[in-house]
Structure 1
Amino acid sequence: MPRYTGINHLAMATRDMEATVRYWRDLLGMRLVAGLGRAGYRQYFLEVSETDMVAFFEWNGVEPLPDKDHGVPVKGPWGFDHVSFGVSEREDLFELKARLEAAGCWASEVLDHGFILSLYSFDPNNIPVEFSWPQPGVDLRARPRMADRDPPPAGREGPDPVPGRWPAPDPASPDDRRVYPGEGREILTHDG
């Protein structure tokens, strides 16, 4: 099984990179670490932590997401509800709430979910954003918990991957291991 190191980047879309950078970098404090661009296309990366980033594509014609509160069920095509960023201190939630409100952004009250405290807001693209602080003494990664009274069969099998549920892959040939050039290589040759 692969070993994951975190979310390298979560890619979202905007039609206004200026407003997006102002919110994520200047208001939330995430460093802008890379930017790609040409006519009709931009992709910018912002650092969340040492291992995690968010990225935004700027495309003409992108519209903000429709109004939808965090975790409220919807019908029809949908694939994303909200993104939650962990914060290191309880006080960070209250600082973020004050910063968001001072900037004219809506921010919820801080809510106690038992295992985390959460603050909710929306970015300029109407992307639902949550900030979470883990409650002391509750570590779901160290001690997973299932509170669903009627989980599907896979949920009843426990937290660890179950071997044999998928076909074993064939060993990769040298041709299957070829790496092809993609977008972003210009970052390596451009200082700035």
Structure 2
Amino acid sequence: MNEFPGITHIAVTVSDLRRSAAWYADLFGTQPVLDEDVEAGDFHHTVFALGGGNLFGLHRHVDPSGAPFDERSPGLDHVSFACSDRAELEKWSVRLDELGIARGEIVDAHYGSGLSFRDPDGIALEFFAPPAAA
């Protein structure tokens, strides 16, 4: 094994699949490529194809826990989408405003810059760009 494999998909659990699918369709600017019940019947998933062959899935379980998302609990902290530079982050800041999605300000650090926001279930998302070349 020469190199650890890349990530092919991320899947998040949502409370209202219809609402979240519409929200993510607006964010991604595309419609799902898959929308089906899983064979075992214990959850339904909707999947979006993103650039670079990556997939982003939404799951709705038949027996949801009802617990709200909390990045301080064990499990997912946040999902980050790659941007090429800070200028692209600024464009996404404008796009989130156009979509009516609440967001933080762009935060610059020595390791890069990030723009945080949340989906309808409060799942933490961000756009992230590497630091500018010196």
- For Structure 1 versus Structure 2, the TM-score category normalised by the shorter chain is 0.7 to 0.9
Q: Give unpaired runs (5+ residues) of structure 2.
A: none
Q: Distance in 2 between matches of 1:30 and 1:134?
A: 26
Task: State yes or no: 1:65 paired with 2:75.
Answer: no
Matches within 5 A, 1:11-90: 11-29=11-29, 31-37=31-37, 41-60=43-62, 61=64, 63=66, 65-66=68-69, 74=72, 78-90=74-86
What displacement does 1:54 show?
1.4
Q: Distance in 2 between matches of 1:2 and 1:13?
A: 33
Larger Rg: 1
Q: Deviations over 1:149-178 (max 9, x none)?
A: xxxxxxxxxxxxxxxxxxxxxxxxxxxxxx
Residue 109 (structure 1) aligns with: 105
Q: Distance in 2 between matches of 1:91 and 1:63?
A: 38
Q: Distance in 2 between matches of 1:56 and 1:84?
A: 16
Q: Distance in 2 between matches of 1:63 and 1:101?
A: 29
What displacement does 1:40 show?
6.9
Q: Distance in 2 between matches of 1:101 and 1:67?
A: 24
Does the 8 Å CA contact 1:47/1:54 hold for their aligned counterparts? yes
| RMSD over aligned Cα atoms | 2.6
Q: Give unpaired runs (5+ residues) of structure 1.
A: 69-73, 139-192
Q: Relative contact order: is structure 1 or structure 2 higher (C-alpha 8 Å, sep ≥ 6)? A: 2
Residue 7 (structure 1) aligns with: 7
Residue 118 (structure 1) aligns with: 114
Partner of 2:21: helix, strand, or coil? helix
Report the TM-score, using the length of structure 2 for normalisation. Answer: 0.78
Q: Which structure: greater strand fraction?
A: 2
Q: Distance in 2 between matches of 1:20 and 1:2?
A: 38
Q: Match for 1:59: what amino acid?
A: H
Does the 8 Å CA contact 2:26/2:99 hold for their aligned counterparts? no
What displacement does 1:93 show?
1.5
Q: Distance in 2 between matches of 1:55 and 1:130?
A: 16
Counterparts in 2 of 1:29 and 1:5: CA distance versus 1, 3 Å: farther
